[in-house]
Amino acid sequence: MVNTSPMAFPANENISDSTAAGDDTAVAQVTGVHHAYGDTQALGGVDLRIDASRITALLGPNGSGKTTLFRLLCTLLPLQKGDIKIVGSDVASQALAVRQNIGIVFQSPSLDAKLTVDENLACQAALYGIAGRTFQKRRDEVLESLGIKDRRGEYCEKLSGGLKRRAEIAKSLLHRPRLMLLDEPSTGLDPAARRSLWKCLTDLAEQGTAVLLTTHLIEEADKADQVVIFSAGKKVAEGPPHELRGQLGSRLISLVVADPDAAADRLRDEFGLTVLRTQDSLKISSDVTPDLVGRIADFLGDSLQSITLGRPSLEDVFVARTGVHFDA
């Protein structure tokens, strides 16, 4: 039988150390959080630290638990078990204090399309008691920083998708939050708008804001400073993208064969390789050398349909950690 357990993976020190107390860069701390919807467990004991001046991406397929954690951080769901503190305030008992320190951009648009950018910001400011010259100063600051000051008088319904996202971020920054939360922020954006969005997020982080976003897009998570990979309600990997990929080695062989189980057994017996089976393909990351591709191709012969050699991706990290395919 083929070993279908997750591929051998070096221990990630970040997972055990990520919630260490006493680090003043930690803007938010999540400890032992569980959450269930009836009999369905959405989160099964999650620990997480979110740092200032860093973009953290929660990466996982739909149903992995990342949106539930996002909603708990936003104080939109009651905390069932565990502890979440944001800038020292407890989400369960100090929700109002938490909301003063977070800015939120939801996946669904929150702008009033019939109002101008200015009017949308004024409505948001009123919710936080920001008025007069204070509002004018902060409005001008955020619009300038996001490059949309010249669009302040335009109706939001006439803005492009990318400009609407910037306007939503501007709304969320008026009260100067320490933590910016974004749920699938690039949904519906074209490539140019996505690049613009990431420039905004990078600028925010450079100014000291902690940025946390959820995504199911591998290429998006790869741009973050820190990636936290979720599967079935648990955190399965955490670290800078290049470090996570590097733990699989510098090269990865992917194979499509007629009989994956038989091919995996043969490769293990012949070459002593660790072979991971994922649906209809095989992956090999241990002891990969350039000549190994040719040797494997010759050994498998006509049963081999395709073989590729490339650098590991975050999707490969997910597969290695969970033993299942990443299905967004």
Q: Give per-residue pLDDT as tens, 271-294.
A: 988 888 877 789 898 667 778 999
Which CATH number is 93's domain given?
3.40.50.300
Is 179 found in the same domain as 263? no
Q: Which domain holds residue 75?
A: 25-244
Is 191 found in the same domain as 122? yes
The pLDDT of residue 13: 39
207 pLDDT exceeds 70?
yes
pLDDT in tens, 133-170: 999 999 999 999 888 999 999 999 999 988 999 999 99
pLDDT band at 129 (very low <50, low <70, confident <90, very high): very high
What's the mean per-residue pLDDT of the chain? 89
Report d(CA 214, CA 48) in Å as an integer.
14
Q: Which residue has the higher pLDDT, 318 or 287?
A: 318
Quote the number of domains for the chain.
2
Is 260 found in the same domain as 212? no
pLDDT band at 23 (very low <50, low <70, confident <90, very high): low
303 pLDDT exceeds 60?
yes
Which of 244, 260, 279 is the C-terminal boundary of a domain? 244
Is 233 found in the same domain as 286? no
Is 276 found in the same domain as 229? no
Is 32 found in the same domain as 178? yes
In a domain, 13, yes or no: no
Is 258 found in the same domain as 117? no
Which of 204, 223, 244 is the C-terminal boundary of a domain? 244
Q: Which residue has the higher pLDDT, 2 or 292?
A: 292
In a domain, 102, yes or no: yes
In a domain, 40, yes or no: yes
* CA–CA–CA angle 182, 82, 100 (5° rounding): 45
Q: For 55-69, 165-179, 225-239, 306-320, which range has the lowest pLDDT when averaged over its residues?
A: 306-320
pLDDT in tens, 24-45: 679 999 999 999 999 999 999 9
pLDDT band at 196 (very low <50, low <70, confident <90, very high): confident
Is 230 found in the same domain as 156? yes
